[in-house]
Each structure stands twice: as C-alpha cells, then as structure tokens.
Structure 1
Amino acid sequence: MILYKTEEDIELIRQSALILSKAHGEIARLIKPGITTLQLDKVAEEFIRDNGGKPSFKNYNGFPYSLCISVNSVVVHGMPSNYTLNEGDIISVDCGVYKNGFHSDCAYTHAVGEVSPEVHKLLAVTKESLYLALEKAVAGNRLGDVSFAVQEYAEKNGFTVVRELVGHGIGRNLHEAPEVPNYGRRGQGVKLQNGLVIAVEPMVNLGSRHIVQEDDGWTIRTKDNKPSAHFEHTIVVRKDKAEILTTFDYIEEAIKRS
C-alpha cells in the first residue's frame, strides 16, 4: 500500500534530509587517499547523532554500520572496513537519517583523486540520469516514466543498469511502497500523485548489468568486477516539478574546497 505524505510529514522529512545532506558534506571533506572507510563511517554517525538524528541503516536488518560504502566494483551495501582509499578509486557513500519519526536517504559516488576518463564519464552519466528521472517525477506521470528516463540515458551512453535493486518509497519506514526500478517502459506502472515521497537511485555499471552477492550477505558487486556508480535523492512528487528534499550542495562545496 502506498502511503502519501501530508505537508506536515514532508516538513519533518525535510528536516531529516537536511541533517543527512550536511552529513554527506562532512564525509566529502575527508574522502582522499589514505583514509579508511571505517573512519568515514565513524564521522557520519557522530555528526548525525550530534544533530539530533539517528543513522537509519545502523542495525537495519542487522546491518552493523551507519554508512553503506561501496568501492569500485561494489554496487551497493558495501561495509565500512579498514580498507584505505587509493588514488583512482571510486566510492559510493549511501546514508540514511531518522529524525522526528521519518527517514531520508541519499547517495553520492565520489572519485578519489584522478580517475580514468571512462570512469569519470560513468559518474557523470549516472548523476545526470538521476536528474533526468526527477524531471519525470511529477503528478500525472507514471512510475515507468521515471524508470525509463534512467535506463534510456545510461544505455544511450554505453552503460548498463542494475535491475535487481531498486529505489523505493520512504517515510516512517526506510523502505515503503512503491519500488522504483531504474529500467522500465514509459506510460507503465503506478500513476504518480502529489505527496508521494520516494528515493530515486540509479545504479549504473561500466560493464555488464549482472551482479553477485558476496558471502557477507550484504555486499553487492558487479559480476565482471568493473566499476559501478550510484546516486540517490529523496524527493516529493509535485504537480509541476519534483521537490528534492536532499541536496548535493554540501558535498559539492566540500569537493571544491579540497
């Protein structure tokens, strides 16, 4: 069942999303060769708790960390560890915040130092596909319009879209109906209505679209071990233009300064 949000609910999600966006900015300042992914996780958790929120992912279905940190060929759900970032890595940081009874969810894939031109293009296209999808997230359109926008743009640029993992509704629960795939057909699926809050999250691979799960039960990696990128915003469907509740502004400001 799809739960549409009131304006009061949306205001509370917006507050959660602000803490989340600022936490992403704090992490972005630290992403450089030599730091461990566990150190990033610690900074994120402290920042979120210091600002009155709770990390949505910590202990969710037994996940032991505040961040999902997915490096290089890991698509999503990578676990923070003593792995030290190296020049040329890419790192997806996925984080959620719970505050005032509501969750928000956001992801960004960073380049660590200089990356190859094809990987740079992968990151750019994945991020662009997110914003193209959000242009379709307006009342009266269908969910398939959002999904198709990601797929069409990614594939047109020579990349592939992960099909087994999806975006989702979000609110009092981290994952709610409807599922938001990154592939689909225009004009198909649920009709979008004002007040629908969803997390849209393209996951795009450099090589094959196929994925495998590692033995830890969480980490999802590309089957061919080629890089994967992931960007995500929490948004509200509106009449004329989607309202984006999370923001990459804090991340991009931190990147500019580093």
Structure 2
Amino acid sequence: MRRLRLAAAPHGVLLLLLILLPLVAAAGPAAAKAPAAPPAPPNVTTAMAKGGCKAFADLIAASPDASSTYQSAAGGGITVFCPTDDAVRAFLPRYKNLTADGKAELLLFHAVPVYYSRGSLKSNNGVMNTLATDGAAKNYNFTVQNEGDAVTIKTAASGDAARVKSTVVDADPVAIFTVDAVIEPVELFKPAPSPTPAPSPAPAADAPKASKPAHHPAPVVADAPGPAATDSPPADQKKEAKKSAAAGAPPCVRWFAAALAAVAMASTLA
C-alpha cells in the first residue's frame, strides 16, 4: 500500500502541472504587454519657484482658485509664462489694489491651456486664450508675437510687451517660460495710451527775397521867384524898350514920335 501511494503521488503532480501550465502561459504575455502608468505631471508652482519665479508661485499658492486650476490643467497640457521675481516685486503695489477675483484672474491670465514647446511657440503668432478666458463675457486674451528668436506677449493694457527670457520646464504636457514683466489684461487695467506721433518736420523756410528799394519821388525844384508885378524896370531898360518899340513901329508912327521929341526939346530950350 505504501508503494501504491508513492507511485500515485507523481501522477497527481503531473496532472496538476498539466492544468496550471496553460494558465501560466496565457497570463505571461498579457502581463508583459501591460503599459506602464504615465508619470504624474510635475507640480507647477514648485517648478516655477525653482526656475526663478518664486514670487509668482507664492501668489498662486495664496489663491486657492488659481492654485487648483493650475494643477488640474497640468494633466491636460499647459504653457505658463511666469514673471521673474524682479517683475513681480515692481508690480506688487498694483496687484494689492485688485479684488480677490481680480488677483485670481490675473494669475490665471499667465497660462495657456495648451502645451507649446519652445520651438512651436516661435511659430505661433496671434491671439491666444488663457486659463482666465470665460467665453465672450471675459475674453482675457493676449497676443504672441515672434521676431527671429525673440518671443513677446502683448495686450492693449501693457505699454511694453513682455519678453520670454528662459525655459524652466519643456516636457509634454507642461511648459514653463519666464517673462520679464507682468502681463496686464485689459479687463483689469486701462488701455495703454497710444504713443504720441513724432511732430512732422517744419517746412524749410524760403530764402529771403531781396527787398526792392523804396520808391521816392524826385524832389520838386521850385522855380526861382520872378520880379514882383509892382516892381518898375530900371531906367536903361525903359530907354531900350522905347527904342525897340520905336524901331518896330510903322514909318508914320516913327515920324510922329520924332516930331513930338523935337517939340519937347524946343520947349526945354525956351
């Protein structure tokens, strides 16, 4: 009986192995093909603080709405433009004047709900929606502009565009870039004044024309005054006039005049 038990034992083991081997063979390849779990997205605010945007990350952490929105958006794709610490410190007085909702919207305005690598960002010019965009009621858009390797972000409320400086994280689904200024949404701040156009140059002055000499009428020379009408001519002139008159008179008149002269002389002698 003992021999029978010993002989029966190997047959039971073989039977068990025959049953288990197909199951192990079927489960092996399936286990090998199972995809590995994707890595969790990085903590956005922690990455910002390590990349030179600690002041901005602290503002996000202090706003529950902004903090939760940033971290939930990181799983589906996000591109963050975080202002440097110097830019945030310079902007803090204006930030403190905003309401709690305004602060949250400003913080959300610095992220796009799409992953853009540095290379793809350089090829995207135009208007982009942000995490603060809420349909037509709240546009909260900004404009990305590229010129060569320079990438800038501009709004109607910002006088100067914010320039992208460095890359903090660039691994799908999260990209974080530093910018040198706080991006101001026109929904919270007044539009920047238009630059005053430069004054047009004054037209060149014409060369002064030579002035014509003033026309002065020639002085009128007064005629020399003639003798007064009451003045009598000198005696010699009287004698000459009588002679001229006698010479020009007819013969009968000259004879009569000579006779009168003779009578006058005779009267004188008598």
Identify whether the pair has TM-score above 0.5, normalized to the shorter chain.
Answer: no
The bucket for the TM-score relative to the shorter chain is under 0.3
Task: Please identify which structure carries the higher helix content.
Answer: 2
Q: Normalising by structure 2, what TM-score?
A: 0.25
Higher relative contact order (CA 8 A, sep 6+): 1
Q: Normalising by structure 1, what TM-score?
A: 0.26
Max Rg structure: 2
Task: Please identify which structure carries the higher strand content.
Answer: 1
